[in-house]
Structure 1
Amino acid sequence: MNPKLETFFKEQGFTKLSPIQEKTYPLLSTGHNILGLAPTGSGKTLAYTIPLIEQVTGGAGTQLMIVAPSQELAAQLTDVVRKWAKVLELKTVALIGGANVRRQIEKLKKHPEIVVGTPGRMLELTEAKKLKLHKLRAVVLDETDELLTDETLVSCRELISHGPARVQLSFFSATKTVIMNELPRWFGVEVKEVDVRSSDRTQGQVTHYLLETPVRKRVDTLRKLAHLNDFYALVFFKQVATIQAAAEKLHYLGVKAAVLDGQQRQVQREQALRDLRQRKVSLLLTTDVAARGLDIEQLPAVVNFDLPKDANTYIHRVGRTGRMGATGTVINLGNEHDLRHFKQLLAHENYTLCEGYLYKGKLVDEEKFAAAKQAVTDQPEKSKPKVKKKTKNKYKADLFKKKESVQAPKKHKKKKRKRQQLNKGKHDKKKN
């Protein structure tokens, strides 16, 4: 490793390379085309950044291009790559759809050595002769399984075709799809596969809960989760319309929540992510497209409001928590039928799913829930003082007496005064 990068590597708190970094470094340093497969949060970004920026020459035009499927991931990669490239005095520019294109064009006039962005915006700038790729040496397709589908596959191939005939290609992903077996056919190069998914142990301990929850009570469940101690999470939905309805209900219930979806402006999306990272909100409601590949440091939980359609989607969703050795929690909401089908979906994956319960302000598994319920049952009942029961007739009699005492006014007794004999005599004399 370049001495400057090695020093910076140690300053960042790293002691050794992760499995994917260790396996790919010698291959990328010697110009091989590779397919790197590793779990989410295992250091794939640095696995290609370090060896590839070492091959870049300062002031010689754009030589490294990194392509990402979403605006958020492209922005995140830019932050990481720019930090490491700065050590070697290299310039990095983000070319992201949704951002101001004129500013991007102005930055390209400074001839950056590295560009990071989304395929649509990059292709647009290339065709407009603003992004010049004639000196390109290496291309990285991050989240390959997402990029090589439908229109983005066409855009990626066309984008690469604007560079020289011999360009080093790198493909990185956490999951493998069918098209990855056909990379030579689509890109015309031989690719070496590096798969460390079974041997990588960088992910921390993640607990996967199943919370049986009918649809009508799911928003209220989110409210309860948001009030747990030190809880904040990414919440995944299938549709944007459902997100908006849930967000309105949560705001009404006093829960601090933000929305991240593809229909927002780039500034709004960046603000939503910033609010979650700074814990200004407890919940960030999003879809698979918007949150693909996001790295939110020390994110404690992921909630699946809508269960994923396949195992690959689940792998990418849950990979947002428990990254690089940190612990994490995944909470899957669904009714009895949904959860039964979901268990079958993940039958061949290496996940341990346990029943979860929200009990007295805590999220507990089935064993702890049963123990807590049993402890309540075993508590002795407090003895209450015995009260003499009055008979029906006696009660009526007491009631009658009470009414009588209330209703009957007190009689004032007149004082009997003895007349003085003297006065009496006077009156008698008058009469006579």
Structure 2
Amino acid sequence: MADDDWKQKLHLPAKDTRTRTEDVTATKGNDFEDYFLKRELLMGIFEKGFEKPSPIQEESIPIALVGRDVLARAKNGTGKTAAFCIPVLEKVDTTRNAIQALILVPTRELALQTAQVCKEMGKYLNVEVMVTTGGTSLKDDIMRLYSTIHIVVATPGRILDLANKNVAKLNDCRVLCMDEADKLLSPEFEPIIEQLIGFLPRDRQIMLYSATFPVTVKHFKERWLNKPYIVNLMDELTLKGITQYYAFVEEKQKVHCLNTLFSKLRINQSIIFCNSVNRVELLAKKITELGYSCFYIHAKMLQSHRNRVFHDFRNGLCRNLVSSDLFTRGIDIQSVNVVINFDFPKNAETYLHRVGRSGRFGHLGLAVNLITYEDRLNL
């Protein structure tokens, strides 16, 4: 990595619109007004900073609005969350005291982030949005469900628990959205999802969104979806704005290599991925010893601690975050322009989601992989 071309890639600030790639600019030229949305929803969309629909939003919003099942594939960081939140918000009838839409996501952090997007866009609609995930007080959730809730954003296990207790009543919930659908249809989640569908009315609408669709999704589609409209914006897998490199090193050289990258790269914020909880903590300690600011996050931490780290990193309190694969999906932090795979991931899907944390919404980003002899075949 001796030549300077990769440094040039990062000279524009992360939010500079000139760096937008066609992943988000190759649109048909639609406007949000074209979809005949409620005026209050349009106010929320524009206040959130969305000017025009991205390609995935153009493709799926009009279809979702007419009530068809949707199976949509689009790259990380191209506006998938708004692609399903906008039709969900448009369909909610706030005069009715009932859960009318359920948005399922695989991780707690993504649930908080998705609910926040819903609340911000629905600011003028008087829509009540509730987040419910594992690791938080069940009693608080039960109390909350006694008041009016229109949209629930949840991780699967917790909402199934509430449905089984007959606290979350889903008999009027006619819209089910699944974000990161491939993860939700993995063996750990799929039985829970199928039980949840049993609580929904027969005339429900199901929408699946993801960047990767393995064979499990095909089986689910054939069993549960009714003539789904299929959107595939994946002519290639990785975002156009991300430049990918690898450094061939020995295990014992990795920290030294990382130190060199920190000193040479222009990093707004970086996420550094390790393959185990133990290695996350050890590496975070090493980075701090080298004199760089650093947080870490993994699934074995207390939920309150995870929330705090996620919140502080997103607000720019720290430049570098060491993470396990907990953080690979859906997490949208615009100022992350560098992703480093300190440990190379075990499969292609994980790789795709990891590097997709950089180069969000058409900006430029960099992915650097530290590759050992053992990783060569995987690479």
Residue in 1 aligned with 2:105?
A: 68
Q: Is 1:30 the equivalent of 2:41?
A: no
What percentage of residue pairs aligned between the two structures are identical?
A: 32
CA 1:184–1:312 in 2, change beyond 3 Å: closer, same or farther? closer
Q: Is 1:47 the equivalent of 2:83?
A: yes
Residue in 1 aligned with 2:218?
A: 181
Cα offset, 1:234, TM superposition:
0.9
Equivalent residue of 2:370, what SS?
Answer: strand
Instruction: With the length of structure 2 as denominator, give the TM-score of the two structures.
Output: 0.84
Q: Is 1:259 the equivalent of 2:296?
A: yes
Q: Is 1:88 the equivalent of 2:136?
A: no
Cα offset, 1:245, TM superposition:
1.9
Q: Is 1:3 the equivalent of 2:39?
A: yes
Residue in 1 aligned with 2:92?
A: 56
Cα distance in 2 between the residues matched to 1:34 and 1:188:
8
Cα offset, 1:342, TM superposition:
4.5
Cα distance in 2 between the residues matched to 1:332 and 1:151:
29
Cα distance in 2 between the residues matched to 1:231 and 1:44:
24
Tell me, yes or no, if the aligned pair for 1:72 and 1:291 is still in contact at 8 Å.
no
1:319-364 CA-partner distances (Å, limit 9, x unpaired): 11111121111110013553x4344xxxxxxxxxxxxxxxxxxxxx
Tell me, yes or no, if the aligned pair for 1:19 and 1:200 is still in contact at 8 Å.
no
Cα offset, 1:190, TM superposition:
3.1
Residue in 1 aligned with 2:149?
A: 112
Which runs of structure 2 are paired with 1:152-301 in the superposition (5 Å)?
Answer: 152-187=189-224, 189-198=226-235, 203=239, 205-227=241-263, 228-301=265-338
Cα distance in 1 between the residues matched to 2:316 and 2:261:
15
Tell me, yes or no, if the aligned pair for 1:123 and 1:159 is still in contact at 8 Å.
yes
CA 1:138–1:38 in 2, change beyond 3 Å: closer, same or farther? same
Which runs of structure 2 are paired with 1:8-27 in the superposition (5 Å)?
Answer: 8-27=44-63
The residue type paired with residue 140 of structure 1 is: C
Selected match of 2:184 from 129, 132, 147: 147
Residue in 1 aligned with 2:10?
A: none
The residue type paired with residue 12 of structure 1 is: K
1:176-231 CA-partner distances (Å, limit 9, x unpaired): 11122223443263322111122999x56222121222211212333343445444
CA 1:224–1:233 in 2, change beyond 3 Å: closer, same or farther? same
Cα distance in 2 between the residues matched to 1:336 and 1:49:
44
Cα offset, 1:251, TM superposition:
2.9
- Worse overlay, 210-219 or 323-332: 210-219
Cα distance in 2 between the residues matched to 1:188 and 1:47:
19
Tell me, yes or no, if the aligned pair for 2:41 and 2:122 is still in contact at 8 Å.
no
CA 1:273–1:52 in 2, change beyond 3 Å: closer, same or farther? same
Cα distance in 1 between the residues matched to 2:286 and 2:107:
28
Higher relative contact order (CA 8 A, sep 6+): 2
Cα distance in 2 between the residues matched to 1:23 and 1:315:
22
Equivalent residue of 1:281, what SS?
Answer: coil
Tell me, yes or no, if the aligned pair for 2:358 and 2:365 is still in contact at 8 Å.
yes
Which runs of structure 2 are paired with 1:95-106 in the superposition (5 Å)?
Answer: 95-106=132-143
Moved over 4 A (4+): none
Cα distance in 2 between the residues matched to 1:282 and 1:219:
17
Equivalent residue of 2:122, what SS?
Answer: helix
Cα offset, 1:4, TM superposition:
2.4
Cα distance in 2 between the residues matched to 1:244 and 1:8:
40
Cα distance in 2 between the residues matched to 1:35 and 1:188:
9
RMSD of aligned alpha carbons: 2.0
Instruction: With the length of structure 1 as denominator, give the TM-score of the two structures.
Output: 0.74
1:147-189 CA-partner distances (Å, limit 9, x unpaired): 1011300001111211212211000001111122223443263
Tell me, yes or no, if the aligned pair for 1:308 and 1:314 is still in contact at 8 Å.
yes
- Worse overlay, 109-118 or 174-183: 174-183
Residue in 2 aligned with 1:348?
A: none
Equivalent residue of 2:202, what SS?
Answer: coil
Tell me, yes or no, if the aligned pair for 1:260 and 1:272 is still in contact at 8 Å.
yes
Cα distance in 2 between the residues matched to 1:141 and 1:133:
16
The residue type paired with residue 194 of structure 1 is: V
The residue type paired with residue 280 of structure 1 is: L
Selected match of 2:348 from 297, 305, 311: 311
- Worse overlay, 125-134 or 241-250: 241-250
Count of residues paired in the alignment: 341
Q: Tell me, which stretches of 5 or more residues in structure 1 are unaligned?
A: 344-432
CA 1:169–1:319 in 2, change beyond 3 Å: closer, same or farther? same
Q: Based on CA coordinates, which of the two structures has the bigger radius of gyration?
A: 1
Equivalent residue of 2:201, what SS?
Answer: coil
Q: Is 1:334 the equivalent of 2:378?
A: no
Q: Tell me, which stretches of 5 or more residues in structure 2 are unaligned?
A: 1-36
CA 1:96–1:337 in 2, change beyond 3 Å: closer, same or farther? closer
Cα distance in 2 between the residues matched to 1:184 and 1:232:
38
Residue in 2 aligned with 1:416?
A: none
1:67-109 CA-partner distances (Å, limit 9, x unpaired): 0001111111111111122221100000011112222222211
Equivalent residue of 1:329, what SS?
Answer: strand
CA 1:54–1:278 in 2, change beyond 3 Å: closer, same or farther? closer
